[in-house]
Amino acid sequence: MSALWREAAGTIRQFLFRALPIFAVICIVASLLARLGVLDVVSQALAPVMRVFDFPAQAALPVVLASIRKDGIFLLAADDGLAFSLTAAQALTAVYLAGVLLPCLVTALTIARETHWKSMFKLLARQAAFAALFALALAWGGRCLL
C-alpha cells in the first residue's frame, strides 16, 4: 500500500508542479489575447488556411485552440460549442487535426528538456506536416465519401 501511495504521490506532484502551471499560463495568456482582440485577428488571418482544409473561417480558432489544449476538442464536437455547423467530413477532419497537429505541450517541453530544443522543434514540425497532409486527405476525400 505504501508503494502504491508513493507512486500516486509522485504522479500528483508531477501534475501539480509541471502540468498545472502550464495550464494556468495557457489560460491566462488566452484570456489576455481574447481581451485584446488578438484572437479575432488571428482567426481572420487563418481563414485562408481553413479554406484549404474545407472548413468555414469560424473554425480557425476552435481548431487552433483545440490542437494546443487537447481537452478543447469538445469545442468542435458539441452542437452547443459552435456557432456554425460542420459536415461529417469537416468534423472528422477538425477533430483529427486538433488531436494530432501538435503534441501535448507538457510532452513537448519534456522532449525538449531531455533532448534539445532544436530536436523538439524538428519533431513538432514533422508531426505538424504529416498531420496536415493526412488532414487534407481526410477533408477532401471525406467530402467525396461522407
Q: Are 127 and 102 in contact (CB under 8 A)?
A: yes
Direct distance between the N- and C-terminal alpha carbons of the chain, in angstroms, rounded to an integer? 51
Contacts of 20 (CB under 8 A, 6+ apart): none
Contacts of 41 (CB under 8 A, 6+ apart): none
pLDDT tens track, the chain, 146 positions: 888 899 999 999 988 998 889 888 888 988 898 899 998 888 889 889 889 998 888 888 888 778 776 666 655 555 555 556 788 888 888 888 888 888 777 788 888 889 989 999 999 999 989 999 999 999 999 888 87
DSSP tag of 58: G
In this prediction, residue 132 carries a pLDDT of 92
What is the four-CA torsion angle of 131, 133, 134, 137, rounded to 10 degrees? Answer: 150
122: cell is: 524538428
Nearest to 19 by CA among 89, 106, 88, 114: 106
d(CA 84, CA 77): 11
